[in-house]
A and B are shown apart, each in its own frame.
Chain A
Amino acid sequence: MTPSPDSRPEETDMELITRWKAGDGRAATRLVGRHSQALARFAASAGEREGIEELVQDTFVRAFASIDSFRGESSLRTWLFTIERRLMLDRRRAERRSRETVSVQEADHVSEYGALDSLIAEEAQERVRRSLEALSPTQREVFTLRVQQGLSYKEIAEVVGSTEGAARVHYHNAIRTVKEYLSDE
C-alpha cells in the first residue's frame, strides 16, 4: 500500500519546495503550516500589534515569489524571518511617514493596545512582555529569536544583518535587562 502524501514521513523544507515547484500545491500548504505560527510569534514579539496575519501572508507571498533565490545555505525559517523582518521595517517606516503627515488617531491606537492587554490573562506574562518592551529593538529581536524561536546565534546574525558575536552580546545584555526588570517589579 502506498502511503498518502499527507502520511509521508517528515519531509525537509527543500523537498517540499521542490515538490511545490513541480506543481504540488499541497507542498505549499505544508510549508506555510510548518512556519506560519513561528512567523506570527516573531512579529508579535517584535512589537507588531495589528495585521500580523497579513504580515505573515505577505512574507510567504514574497518568499515563494523569489524562491529561486533561496539556496538552502540557511534554514528556510531563518530566510523567512529575514523577509518578515524587512517587511516589518518597511511597515514601520511607512507608519512613521504617515504619522508625520496625517494627524495621529491616538484614541484608536490606545484602544487597540488596551484590547490586546485585556487578552493577556496572566499577570506574570504581561510583566514579561513589558520587560521585553524595555529592550532596544535589536536586543528584543535577538532575544526573542533566540529564546522563543530557538535560532542559533549564527542564524540570528543572518536575520538581523549582524555578526554572530554581536548577536551574543545583544543576548547577554537582553537577559540581564529582563532579569533586572522582573526582579525590580
Chain B
Amino acid sequence: MNKCTEIEIQEMLPDVLHGSLDGRERARLEAHLLTCESCRGDLDVLRAVKAAAIFAPAINVDSVVRQIPPYRSILPGVEKPARARVVQWLVAAAVVLGVVGGGSLVLSKQIRTSQPPVAVIVPESIKIAKAPEVAGSALAVAPKVIEVSATSRPQALALSTDVENLSDGNLVQLMNDMDQFDALPAAEPEPVISVDSGDSL
C-alpha cells in the first residue's frame, strides 16, 4: 500500500464520520478516496475507533441537574457570606498593616530629620546654584543626600547626616566634585594668630 502524501486530506478524515465537511471538501475527499487505498484504510480504522467509544455509561441527566445550584446562589456576595467575611477580614488586616507600616515609616523619618544637618557655610557673596541647575555635578551623583537649601537659607550648602551612609566610592566622587565646586573658597583660610597685647608684661 502506497503511503498517502495528502496531509490535509488525512487530517480531514475524522470529519467524514461527523458529517462536518462542506460540499466542496466532501467532494474533494470522496474523489481522493477512490484512488487512495491508504486513506481508505485510515477511514476504516477511524470508524472502528469511533464505534469502540459506545461503552460509556449512560448519564442520568436529572440527577446531574439536581446538583447544579441556581444561578443567583452563585453570584458573588449574594449567598456566600463566609467568603464575604473572609474578604472583609483580609481588607481589615491590610488596613492595619498599612497603618502600622506607615506609622513606623513616619517615625523613622522624624528620628532621622531631628538630627541636625552638617552644614558647610559659604560666604554670602558666592552664588549658590539651585538644585535643577547643578545636574551633572556632585549633587546629581547623590541627590537624596545633598540638599541645597536655596529657599530657606540661600547662603548655605547643607549635607544631611546620611553622608555617613555613602559608600567609599560615592564619598570619593563627592569629595572630588566638591573640589571642583566653584562656590568653595580656592585658598585655605589663614591660620588665626593670637596677638599678644603685651598687657601681661
Contact = CB atoms under 8 A, between A and B. Distances in A.
Interface string A139-163: 0000110111010010000000000
B66 to A, nearest CB: 9
Given A60-B64, A175-B42, A132 B57 contact: no
Contact count band on B: 35 or more
Interface string A158-185: 0000000000100110010011001000
Interface in A24-39: 25, 28-29, 32-33, 36-37, 39
B53 A148 contact: yes
B71 A20 contact: yes
- Interface SS of A by simple majority: helix
A64 B69 contact: yes
Interface stretch (A50-58, A87-95, A100-108): A50-58
A32 B58 CA distance: 12
Interface residues of A, number: 46
B50 to A, nearest CB: 5
A25 B57 contact: no
Interface in A12-26: 20-21, 23, 25
Complex A-B, nearest 7 residue pairs according to Cβ-Cβ distance, in ascending order: A150-B18, A40-B56, A36-B59, A44-B56, A128-B52, A148-B53, A41-B56
Interface of A: 20-21, 23, 25, 28-29, 32-33, 36-37, 39-41, 43-45, 52-53, 56-57, 60-61, 64-65, 67, 119-120, 124-125, 128-129, 132, 143-144, 146-148, 150, 153, 168, 171-172, 175, 178-179, 182
